[in-house]
Amino acid sequence: FYFLTVGTQSFFTAMNGCAAVGAHLVTITSTAEQSAVSPLGAGTERWIGLRRQNGAPPQDASYAWITGEPRAGFAAWAAGEPNGSGSCGAMSAASNWADESCSQSFASLCERE
């Protein structure tokens, strides 16, 4: 079950907000799942559960799901992303992934298993 939160917040506040209602920031491991969550909040930037450890290089392999589940080889980065602008993952208005500063304020895509 996927849902978009009301309002915008930083990545860590978003993560805690999802957890407070028994969910987590969405983890996307397939094209089908990407297609399922893309319409939620389309046209706005929203947080997903993707993060890289501080100091790790800004490349796809450095990003992991906050749940610890495997990435399963799936990625939906926008052209030129990740570009090192931040260590937290967001879904862009066009529904591609981008790395953003964790202090940015976006909506949140949550997932309840």
Mean pLDDT for 45-52 is 97
pTM for the whole structure: 0.95
Label residue 30 by pLDDT band (50, 70, 90). Answer: very high
Q: What pLDDT digit, counting tens, does each position of 93-102 carry?
A: 999 999 999 9
Nearest to 23 by CA among 14, 31, 32: 14
What percent of the chain clears pLDDT 70, i.e. is strictly above it? Answer: 100
| Per-chain mean pLDDT for the chain | 95
Label residue 109 by pLDDT band (50, 70, 90). Answer: very high
Does residue 6 register a pLDDT over 90?
Answer: no
Q: How many whole angstroms separate alpha carbon 32 and alpha carbon 14?
A: 24
Mean pLDDT for 10-24 is 97
Q: What pLDDT digit, counting tens, does each position of 49-77 carry?
A: 999 988 899 999 999 999 999 998 899 99
Q: How many whole angstroms separate alpha carbon 97 and alpha carbon 45?
A: 9
Quote the Cα angle for 13-22-49, to 5°.
Answer: 50
